[in-house]
Amino acid sequence: MAFLEVKDLQVYFPVKGGIFNRTVDHIKAVDGVSFEMEQGKTYGLVGESGSGKSTTGRAIIGLEEITSGQVLFDGKDITDKKTKNKAFRKDVQMIFQDPYSSLNPRKRVLDIVAEPLRNFEKLSKFEERKRVQELLDIVNVSPDSIFKYPHEFSGGQRQRIGVARAIALKPKLIIADEPVSALDVSVQAQVLNFLQEIQKELNLTYLFISHDLGVVKHMCDNISIMYKGRYVEQGSTKDIFENPQHIYTKRLIAAIPDINPRNREKQFEFRKEVADEYRKSFNHYFDSNGLAFALQSISDTHKVALPEKG
Amino acid sequence: MEADTVKMAEQKSPSALNILLRELYRDKLALVSLIFVLLITSFVFGVSIFLNQDEIVTVDLFSINAPPSDQFILGTDYGGRDVFGQLIIGTRNSLAIGILVTLISGIFGVAYGVVSGYFGGHIDNVLMRVIDFFMVLPFLMIIIVFVSMTPSYSVISFSLIMATFSWMGIARLIRSKALQEKELDYAQASKTLGTSRFNIIFKQVLPNITSLIIVTMTLNLAANIGLESGLSFLGFGFPEDTPSLGTLLSYARNPQTLEFRWWIWAPAAILILLLMLSVRNVGEALRRAADARQRRG
Amino acid sequence: MWKFIVRRLLITFPQIVFLSVLVFVMAQFMPGDALTGLIDPNVSPEALEIQRERLGLNNPWYVQYGDWVGGLVQGDLGQSFRFKMDVTALISERVMNTILLSAVSLFFTYIIAIPLGIVSGRYNDSPLDSFITGYSYLGFATPIFIFALVMLWVFGFILGWFPTSGSVAPGLDAGTVEYYISKLYHSLLPGLSIALISVVSTIQYLRSEIVDTKQRDFIVTARAKGASENRVYNKHIFRNSLLPIAAFFGWEITSLISGTVFVESVFSYPGMGLLFLESVTQRDFSVVTALVLLFGIASILGALLSDIILSIVDPRIRIK
């Protein structure tokens, strides 16, 4: 049984119009996404902005209403708002993209990190403070700073405070929505390594949402590529980087910058080639609406969205 | 100076009130206004303890319409009542009811706006239509009708009537702010952390809009002092045995008084003007401070 | 755009219905009914009861409400017991005065506010601008009745330049030129009192709008193209800023109504505001309800008008 199973997830946003403000159309942010996750692994979800990757993550945790489909967590159906009970809230946490807005500017670090504890555990003031200090210690923020306010910290520190809050209840799954893209590159690696460390310690499962293939390659065991609300390719990190099948994946990978300046010419040529191929074979890889086809398995771990044969 | 502010930022918590007060201190005009309002308030509340309201409002036929003299600093009105005493008690009553109405309408309006903004959707739609409707009512006339119809008319019923028609502005403002705030990640984060809706609204979102609330309530206080004195001026405010600043002004509806006996109405007019101006000054300075703080992030 | 207008109209209708229900309920709570003023005190209670039955005063409230609305639609606003005449006739006597007063004050408002706002915005932070901004700051804080009182005291009583009460000098025949001049003359000081206070919001709006537009890219482009400063202001900035001001006209109606109530009271100017105050004091409730209803409908329609004009002028508000 899979740890988290998402079946044909759809999230549509209504477009209002007309005299009575009725729903006249939908924007299909997530349009039929299915995947499974195993405990203790990291799953990458990659796509350009507007591809629906964040919406997928937010729908699983309940920040967006699910239009149709099913989400099973530990075998329990948690699709509907009402079924997202306390146990689920405790087991699934989220790390937000922007560490400047995800911490309440009016609250002290103590209150921020203790917020989940206050919701789920009845601790005395003393115990609570001790737990918060332990958590801050885990994320390498000085435990003395519990009475400071978020604006007194740097971006990287704030993101780590956000992580401390997310792991306070010892969750099983953490949805990390672009957790480092708002940070300076120098701080990114620091936060990423740290996320990997606590993963081992706490046996966490990550759903790692990002637009940065380099980061995803570094972090993930398994990667899914998303385009216009659908999956175009899914596979192990090796599958995706060494044997990309879908033209969209190829193009994304070709776009990763190469740090060796001598390869610049070669890289440029390669990109041009891929771009040409993309143009020529677009109709082969996408249906008449420019959307991806359904996924087909090409190996045990590797699935690609290709038109059905015949 | 620069180093000082940095140091302060490190030591002090950014509680809304603290920052606002600090900014106020820099704005000299607003500071003077604040001191003026505080002085007047403490003066009228202090002195009125020693004044006998019944004695002041008792008609004294032997000293009708007396000009200012040693006995009556600001003269007397058509009933021979001491204008200065009425001025003090009137200011106290006007301030008290202004504060009361501002608090009632403010608390209701904030709760209404926060609920509407936070829940959004259909609830918001319905609540906003109600506000739209209240906003287009000719509220002055309806207040007057209510005042004249209320059977056992008292200060409490007067302030409730006024509050009924003055909560919409703040509700609207708070609603649009709450609408913005709830989309911010920290409110979303609270949701994923299992915090109840009630706690998200009142413990997470509300502290972030306190400076807006303080600013709006201060400006509303000025408006309510004006509204009360206006209603009393028209004769639909406090009863005559409970003088307010507007009551003194209403004597000027008699052309004789207006033309020849300035001492009855002019001090009240000046006092209302100064009070409203000062309270507004404080409010505007607070608003500038709040805006500046938001720019700094 | 027509969608917005239709939607806006659809909101207006229930607003008017709610207003009428509110006014009707208010009227039910007022002491006395249509018969109170009409009937001779010597009539026996039995005869009174027959009359009540005949007039439908014993019917359930919704039937009475229906009758009342039916009457309203036909222009029947009831009877004033104080003046012993139809409310409709009574109001139409007074309505012209209030319209004249409103027109005069609107005229002064725009004629004063637009130049001041433009000067203040174009030469912002000049001494002239500081003066104008200072004035509007004071104006925001000044209650209209105090200002009107001071105006009356200074210009009416001390200087004697203007009449101190009424809407026309006594003894003039309606229809003569002198009559109309006198009417206008009587409305000047009250109209100016409203205008000098209500200019401040327009001045401030215009000023901030101009200061804002000045920095916009298209203005900078126009300047860079070599357009003269006057041309930039006349062609680009005013057109952007003045149209919304025209649209505010409808919303002004609501504030104009409370303005006229105060100012008519200060200047003993026999318009609808003064009629309202007198009727409340004298407990002439059929007049009171009629006036609240009329003023309410006027503000609802005013807001409607403004919203529609603004939606034509400024497409941004059509969203949502």
Of the candidates C67, C69, C75, C91, the one whose C-alpha atom is nearest the C-alpha of residue C19 is: C69
- The CA distance from B161 to C295, in Å, is 19
Distance, first Cα to last Cα, chain A = 34
Angle at B185 between CA B182 and CA B186, to 5 degrees: 80
Number of H helices, E strands in chain A: 10, 12
How much is the pLDDT for A310?
44
What is the mean pLDDT of the segment spanning C82-110?
84
Number of domains in chain C: 1
CB spacing of C6 vs A19 below 8 angstroms? yes
Interface residues from chain B to C (CB-CB < 8 Å): 129, 132-133, 135-142, 144-145, 148-149, 222, 226, 229-230, 233-236, 249, 252-253, 255, 258-259, 262, 265, 269, 272-273, 276-277, 280
Subunits close to C (at least 3 CB pairs below 8 A): A, B
- Is the CB of residue B193 less than 8 Å away from at least one CB of chain A? yes
Q: Identify the three-state secondary structure at position C6.
A: helix
Where is pLDDT greater, at B190 or C249? B190
Q: Which fold has domain A4-228?
A: Rossmann fold (3.40.50)
Within chain A, which residue ranges are assigned CATH 3.40.50.300?
4-228
Chain A residues with CB-CB distance to B182 below 8 A = none
How much is the pLDDT for B107?
93
The reply to whether C189 falls in a domain is yes
Residues 243..282 of C with a Cβ closer than 8 Å to A: which? none
The reply to whether C272 falls in a domain is yes
Neighbours of A1 (CB within 10 A): 7
CB spacing of C26 vs B276 below 8 angstroms? no
**The two structure tokens encoding residue A273:** 């080639």
Residue C315 has pLDDT above 80, yes or no: no
- Return the residue of C nearest to A18 by Cα: C3
Subunits close to B (at least 3 CB pairs below 8 A): A, C
Mutant choice from B19, B125, B186 vs A, greatest count of A C-beta within 10 A:
B186
pLDDT tens digit at each of 297 positions of chain B: 344 443 333 343 456 667 667 777 777 888 888 889 899 888 888 887 777 666 666 666 666 666 776 666 666 776 667 778 888 888 888 888 899 999 999 999 999 999 898 888 888 888 988 888 888 788 888 888 888 887 777 788 888 889 998 899 899 999 988 888 888 888 888 888 888 888 888 888 888 888 888 889 988 998 898 888 888 888 888 776 778 888 888 887 777 777 777 777 888 888 888 988 899 888 888 887 776 655 443
**The two structure tokens encoding residue B96:** 């008290």
The reply to whether C71 falls in a domain is no
Lowest mean pLDDT among A8-12, A67-71, A114-118, C54-58: C54-58
The reply to whether C10 falls in a domain is no
Strand partners, C85: C80
The reply to whether C74 falls in a domain is no
Give exposure, B89-100, as e/b (b: 16+ Cβ within 10 Å).
bbbbbbbbbbbb
How much is the pLDDT for C56?
63
- Is the CB of residue B297 less than 8 Å away from at least one CB of chain A? yes
Task: Report the sign of the C-alpha dihedral through residues A5, A179, A15, A288, in that order.
Answer: negative
How much is the pLDDT for C317?
53
Interface A-B: count of C-beta contacts within 8 A: 66
CA distances from A21 to A170, B93, B172 (A): 44, 49, 21
Question: pLDDT tens digits, residue range A195-232?
Answer: 888 888 888 899 999 988 888 888 898 999 998 888 88
The reply to whether C279 falls in a domain is yes
How much is the pLDDT for B9?
38
Residues of chain A with pLDDT > 90, as a percent, come to: 5
Check which CATH number belongs to the domain holding C241 and give it. Answer: 1.10.3720.10
Q: Identify the three-state secondary structure at position A225.
A: strand
Chain A residues with CB-CB distance to B207 below 8 A = 104, 106-107
Question: pLDDT tens digits, residue range C4-34?
Answer: 778 788 888 888 888 888 888 887 777 655 5
- The CA distance from B259 to A19, in Å, is 58
Of the candidates B39, B44, B31, B50, the one whose C-alpha atom is nearest the C-alpha of residue B268 is: B44
The reply to whether C9 falls in a domain is no
- The CA distance from B81 to B161, in Å, is 29
How much is the pLDDT for B171?
92
Instruction: Give the predicted TM-score (pTM) of the model.
Output: 0.80
Domain extent at residue C215: 87-313
Task: Report the sign of the C-alpha dihedral through residues B250, B253, B254, B256, in that order.
Answer: positive
Residue C320 binned pLDDT confidence (cut-offs 50, 70, 90): very low
